Structure 1
């Protein structure tokens, strides 16, 4: 088996406190992340042959960022050095990326200005057997969307397994196209599709009935959505859906995996307090890749991915720092 290559924009997450103390204290915490780097980080920590591709400007700060990636044990040989800036976003600590308080500063970043015809895919895909990206990539710019399609065609031609996370970031789709007009053309290449029933509605136009409330109805809809995805995209062999709810008194989490005509449902987890919501879905995606890459059963893969995602909620950074045995042990304490 070859490398697992994750493709997406490296971001710096700036975390001002909601009260504004950072101004008086001259203290503005930040984290290095980005959805695909979070996936690559988890996979490397779990002992997988993880690689990462992004675009960065050539300067002193980039050298430090690449050193950071190198220290994580991630192969960064596919990074493209071009453009002038690293993407940023601002989010109050503890908030979710779907929260209205998120502020993006990614316009004209090196990644957003990537162009087709300029990347040596033969070199990029050397020794790669799995290619992962997310729906955030084509949301950044039309040029990035076109590069995504180019990458998928090249990966598909080399029989590389392809996965996508249907991350929806409403504030990013600003170049005149809606997700539903872009994502289907990319998803047709994908063998593993992960997201949730609402993301599938936004990106694929698969309707979710109004008034859907009870867990059993969520599970029924997860199976319906998954079946439609596989009907529409025949290359897709597995569809995963996550369910995380901020309820009074805590956070509830569970997920499903539909493959070979069967819907598998994970254990349910519950915690009264968590630390950081960012990166939980990325950790789940990494868990799926971890399982499928090693040939584990759907049940084993689902269990690990769900535990990985839930335990990420207790880690104060964009990516997990927990080894497989640690996260499984920790998750067990929160089974509901």
Structure 2
């Protein structure tokens, strides 16, 4: 077991509003939409705060009511918002249609020309936000937004390196975002991952980064993929991932894995059914891994904590998993009766 890490976690990325019609209603026929505040990095910030770890959000939001709604959600969750800037542009949104029976879920993005996508790197106060920080958490979504997104991601990484703050990079590869412009995803992501201490990604993410086809069927092949990443990136100390098997839209099986250079741990697979909301489950997993890293727990405990939070998120609506350490401790992955 390693020592507990002190300081706050800085989460950097775009916040989005999620709008969803009732389950079973296609967007084209919707006359009402539920609103949830989210965004990959903000989901982690809010969940970390709920788990008792100080979190600070760095982002840009429009100076209107929608931007204020996002700030309010951060504040309600206990996230430090002092590094959130208000900038010209619009609030990024996406529409999520819930899976229904044999019909899969569907995401429709509407995020072009958002405040975040247009903000200048120098307008985001990275150095101030990172002062005294334990970790910078960011993802591959930001550079996928275009040239300015790449500049923002590099500015965040450079600021973290100047202050010797470790970096957690979540692959979060979004093919549709990368295909919208002529960016070289492999080159850009390699540059960012090479600076990271923690990588959240599986064999497919590593295959993309290294330009080779790596297998993920079974613990042995996943270990080989992790070792290839450790060989390629000397700064990496930890890799965490999940393995998901989809039985139906409402029934999934999930396992979690954590690799260090000299050791690894993989959980047993759990069956999750029925699924209330799959969106944000990866961010819940990331939260569990980061809690384990901050608390200095052993690998097996870290993997189990990540799996617990990911499993719990499948049963909660919205993008964010809002739970306390006590709720997580009481949660039984095998299921259980009513808690009275």
CA distance in 1, matches of 2:296, 2:329: 19
**Counterparts in 2 of 1:106 and 1:25: CA distance versus 1, 3 Å:** closer
**Counterparts in 2 of 1:25 and 1:189: CA distance versus 1, 3 Å:** closer
Say what the alpha-carbon RMSD is for the aligned residues.
2.1
**Counterparts in 2 of 1:206 and 1:194: CA distance versus 1, 3 Å:** farther
Match of 1:131 among 115, 127, 136: 136
User: By how many angstroms is 1:154 displaced?
Assistant: 1.2
Q: Where do 1:188-203 residues align within 5 Å?
A: 188-203=194-209
Task: Check whether the contact 1:279–1:312 (CA below 8 A) recurs between aligned residues.
Answer: yes
CA distance in 2, matches of 1:85, 1:104: 13
Task: Check whether the contact 1:310–1:331 (CA below 8 A) recurs between aligned residues.
Answer: no
User: By how many angstroms is 1:206 displaced?
Assistant: 3.9
**Counterparts in 2 of 1:220 and 1:82: CA distance versus 1, 3 Å:** same
CA distance in 2, matches of 1:205, 1:17: 41
- TM-score, structure 2 normalization: 0.89
Residue in 1 aligned with 2:3?
Answer: none
CA distance in 1, matches of 2:223, 2:26: 46
> What do the CA deviations read for 1:5-57 (whole angstroms, capped 9, x no partner)?
10111001111347547777731112110000110111011011111111111
Q: Where do 1:58-77 residues align within 5 Å?
A: 58-77=63-82
Where in structure 1 are there 5+ consecutive unaligned residues?
A: none
Residue in 2 aligned with 1:47?
Answer: 52
User: By how many angstroms is 1:90 displaced?
Assistant: 1.2
Residue in 1 aligned with 2:270?
Answer: 269
Residue in 2 aligned with 1:205?
Answer: 211
> What do the CA deviations read for 1:168-194 (whole angstroms, capped 9, x no partner)?
221111221242121000001100001
CA distance in 2, matches of 1:196, 1:102: 22
**Counterparts in 2 of 1:117 and 1:24: CA distance versus 1, 3 Å:** closer
Larger RCO of the pair (alpha carbons < 8 Å, separation 6+): 2
Match of 1:179 among 157, 161, 185: 185
Match of 2:146 among 131, 141, 149: 141
Given the alignment of the two structures, is residue 242 of structure 1 paired with residue 247 of structure 2, yes or no? Answer: no
Task: Check whether the contact 2:202–2:240 (CA below 8 A) recurs between aligned residues.
Answer: yes
Residue in 2 aligned with 1:287?
Answer: 288
CA distance in 2, matches of 1:176, 1:13: 27
**Counterparts in 2 of 1:86 and 1:262: CA distance versus 1, 3 Å:** same
Tell me the SS of whatever aligns to 2:115: coil
**Counterparts in 2 of 1:58 and 1:204: CA distance versus 1, 3 Å:** farther
User: By how many angstroms is 1:119 displaced?
Assistant: 3.1
Q: Where do 1:295-314 residues align within 5 Å?
A: 295-314=296-315
Where in structure 2 are there 5+ consecutive unaligned residues?
A: 1-5
Task: Check whether the contact 1:307–1:328 (CA below 8 A) recurs between aligned residues.
Answer: no
> What do the CA deviations read for 1:136-192 (whole angstroms, capped 9, x no partner)?
111112111111111101101211011011112211112212421210000011000
Q: How many residues align?
A: 326
Task: Check whether the contact 2:97–2:105 (CA below 8 A) recurs between aligned residues.
Answer: no
Residue in 2 aligned with 1:230?
Answer: 230
Tell me the SS of whatever aligns to 2:278: coil
CA distance in 1, matches of 2:189, 2:322: 31
Tell me the SS of whatever aligns to 2:138: strand
CA distance in 2, matches of 1:44, 1:274: 25
Task: Check whether the contact 2:99–2:106 (CA below 8 A) recurs between aligned residues.
Answer: no
User: By how many angstroms is 1:223 displaced?
Assistant: 0.8
